Structure 1
Amino acid sequence: MKNQAYRMALLYDFYGDMLTDRQKEFYDLYYNEDLSLAEIAENYGITRQGVRDVIVRAEAILTELEDKTGIIRRFHKMQEQFSQIERAVDTIAQRNDERYQDDTVEELCNQVKRVLSQLKQE
């Protein structure tokens, strides 16, 4: 279940702006605030099934967007690639410290780390 909740949170983070205000609100209450369908229905004066329909439709929209664009999949791949680059730079820096003590190599490693840090924040 945690995997599903994580997936739904990612979908909402990436594509939530594509939902209607009502879909956003119900989705947020259900997945982020952990309210039950019955609680949401009671708060909004509609049926539990009505709430479920809105949430299921929102899930379908978000899933379809990811299926078509693959943005989240590419995001995860980029994060892994950033980690690989970071590990390689750390290895280069460590070897430089152990064997060569080349200031230029050290500065280049630091430059790559700064760029990676910026990329991760975007």
Structure 2
Amino acid sequence: MKNQAYRMAMLFDFYGDMLTDRQKEFYDLYYNEDLSLAEIAENYGITRQGVRDVIVRAEAILTELEDKTGIIRRFHKMQEQFTDIQTAVDRIRQINEERRYYDNGIEGSCNDIQSILDQLRQE
């Protein structure tokens, strides 16, 4: 269940602007506010099935967008790569500090890589 909720949240975060206002509202109430279909239906004066149809359609749109673009998949891959780069920079720094003759050039290069990595993480 947590995996499904996380997946739905990611889909909404990345592609939610592609939904209609009604789809966004119902999707948000159902997944983020944890309202039941019946509660949403009661608040909007429609049937539970009507709410379900809107949410299922929104899910289909978001899933189709991810299937076509793969943006979330690439986002996760980039996050893994950032972690790998960070690990490598930390290891290089550690080796440099353990050396008998500390190399300022190596430290400077590590700082440059760290700065670029920090910028990429913010984008």
TM-score (norm 1): 0.98
Equivalence for 1:109: 110
CA displacement 1:30-50 (0-9 Å, x = unmatched): 000110100000000000000
Q: Which residue identity is paired with 2:19?
A: L
CA displacement 1:81-100 (0-9 Å, x = unmatched): 11111101110010001114
Q: Distance in 2 between matches of 1:43 and 1:97?
A: 63
Structure 1 unaligned runs (5+)? none
Equivalence for 1:75: 75
Equivalence for 2:36: 36
CA displacement 1:65-111 (0-9 Å, x = unmatched): 00000000000001101111110111001000111411111111011
Structure 2 unaligned runs (5+)? none
Equivalence for 1:12: 12
Q: Which residue identity is paired with 1:84?
A: D
TM-score (norm 2): 0.97
Question: 3-state SS of the aligned residue for 1:88?
Answer: helix
Equivalence for 1:26: 26
Count of residues in correspondence between the two structures: 122
In the TM superposition, structure 1's runs of 4+ consecutive aligned residues that sit over 4 Å from their partners are: none
CA RMSD between the two structures: 0.7
Q: Distance in 2 between matches of 1:114 and 1:43?
A: 49
Q: Distance in 2 between matches of 1:72 and 1:117?
A: 20
Q: Distance in 1 between matches of 2:116 and 2:36?
A: 43
Q: Distance in 2 between matches of 1:28 and 1:84?
A: 34
Query: Percent identity between the aligned chains?
Result: 81
Deviation at 1:27, TM superposition (A): 0.3
